[in-house]
Amino acid sequence: MSRQSPSGRVTALVRVTFAYLLAIAVAVLWLLWGPATGVLWLDTLIADLLATVVIFGFSRVHHNSSFYDAYWSVIPPLLLGYWWWQSDLGVDDLRTWLLFIVVAVWAVRLTANWVGTFPGLHHEDWRYAQLRADAGRWELPVDLFAIHVIPTLQVFAGMVPAYVAVTHPAQGPTWLVVVAFLVGLSAVGLETIADGQLRRFVRSARGGDVMDRGVWGWSRHPNYFGEFSFWFSLALFGVAASPADAWWLFIGAAVMLALFEGASIPMMERRSLARRPGYQSVIDRVPRFVPRPPRAGGAVRTRR
């Protein structure tokens, strides 16, 4: 992957930052002076979609849909903070603090990882380009809905349990809050380890090398499993606040699982098979999603 000069990369990051500040400002203006629906979650959803449209506009101007990449991690803590501010729960609510810590740690880590690997606006996620190319004359609506709006709705659905957790007095057991907190932090920890191991592999890899080391020897997509586990932890926080709603509070996590299993993982696997013939041996040995020991005969190589 080619990279821009340091000054060009900084300029690109400034442009992206400006786009996000403008998007957030539009959302805030709507929440302050827009025609309120009287329903907190619906008002924030509308504001979220308006901010998404702003980012979409920047994506079109710069011919690069990767403008949207950081939206996934930037918006959730802002939603949570606004919901908490608008709720009747006080600042001494331990459950809400634990939830906020999990979301904040996840958001800071994921956003920092994006900034650290951001090569510049000359680069775009290959999946976006493929989706638009496959869409033909429907390229613009696919760009708007498939790349921008639908992911926004998916993230919002994943945040609904957090909305329940900060707008409802606790009705569930305290131990479930602790479990949710530990699951959330463990998920962020797994993603951090997976990303670090992958970066080290990329720096030393030669053409055709495949990644089957460390946590990548226990799962072909440990980063996606960690991401799903984070959203699952939010569902647990929601259940701890409102056990009666448990049957639908996992919908957001299920949507994330469907995204990974139905779109992201198949696209990544097809690309890896096309570019690295040896990847078939990884498929034969290493579990697809949930981490567990590799199959018999598939010893995981390690590199120090």
Angstrom distance (rounded) from CA 88 to CA 264: 39
Angstrom distance (rounded) from CA 290 to CA 192: 17
Residue 258 has pLDDT above 60, yes or no: yes
Q: What is the pLDDT of residue 127?
A: 92
- pTM score above 0.85: yes
Give residue-wise pLDDT tens across range 151-174. 999 999 999 999 999 999 888 899
Give residue-wise pLDDT tens across range 172-203. 899 999 999 999 999 999 999 999 999 999 88
Give residue-wise pLDDT tens across range 14-29. 999 999 999 999 999 9
Q: What is the pLDDT of residue 169?
A: 86
Residue 144 has pLDDT above 60, yes or no: yes
